[in-house]
């Protein structure tokens, strides 16, 4: 899921929804970038996004940053990605542990092919 909500990590209801649904959320961060520039930065960074999703089992929240200097977006320079919250961190922070069945399902530990790949990376855009 894509969002431009930089404060999603501090909103308890949203966090619970992300963690219990097993979602992978990327918050697009770009300071003064327009929506079109944020979208371009995401496209420029997509190869890194695919690798990041394959490396980190869901659920999690990450931020996609613009390159520095900002002019790099227009020139196709990819941004960076930083993991800001995992299921384990959420459980420690809020003292909420998901039931075993839900945890297995939400983390994508369903056996063969459970890791994300470019073929299985699905994006849902949220404003």
Q: What is the pLDDT of residue 101?
A: 38
Asked if 4 and 42 count as a contact pair (C-beta separation under 8 A), the reply is no
Contact 38, 30 (CB under 8 A): yes
- 3-class secondary structure per residue, the chain: CEECCCCHHHCHHHHHHHHHHCCEEEEEECCCCCHHHHHHHHHHCHHHHHHHHHHCCCCEEEEEECCCCHHHCCCCCCCEEEEEEEHHHHHHHHCCCCCHHHHHHHHCCCCCCCCCCCCCCCCCECC
Q: Is residue 54 part of a domain?
A: yes
Q: What is the mean pLDDT of each run of 10 residues along the chain (127 residues)?
A: 85 89 93 90 96 96 90 92 94 73 40 37 53
Q: Which domain holds residue 77?
A: 2-107
> What was the pLDDT predicted at 80?
95
Tell whether 123 is covered by a domain: no
pLDDT at 13: 87
In a domain, 68, yes or no: yes
Query: Strand order in 60-65's β-sheet?
Result: 2-3, 24-29, 60-65, 80-86
In a domain, 116, yes or no: no
In a domain, 31, yes or no: yes
Considering its fold, how many domains does the chain have in total? 1
Please report the pLDDT score of residue 36 as a whole number.
93
Query: What's the pLDDT at 93?
Result: 85
Domain-located, residue 118: no
Asked if residue 100 is part of any domain, the answer here is yes
Q: Is residue 40 part of a domain?
A: yes
């Amino acid at each position: 899921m894509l969002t431009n909500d930089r404060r999603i990590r501090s909103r308890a209801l949203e966090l619970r929804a992300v963690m219990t649904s097993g979602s992978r959320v990327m918050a697009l961060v770009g300071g003064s970038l327009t929506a079109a520039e944020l979208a371009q930065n995401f496209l420029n960074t997509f190869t890194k996004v695919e690798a990041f999703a394959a490396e980190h089992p869901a659920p999690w929240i990450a931020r996609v940053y613009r390159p520095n200097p900002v002019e790099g977006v227009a020139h196709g320079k990819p941004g960076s990605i930083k993991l800001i919250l995992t299921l384990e961190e959420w459980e420690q922070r809020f003292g909420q542990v998901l039931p075993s069945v839900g945890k297995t399902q939400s983390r994508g530990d369903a056996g063969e092919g459970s890791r994300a790949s470019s073929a299985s990376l699905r994006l849902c855009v949220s404003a």
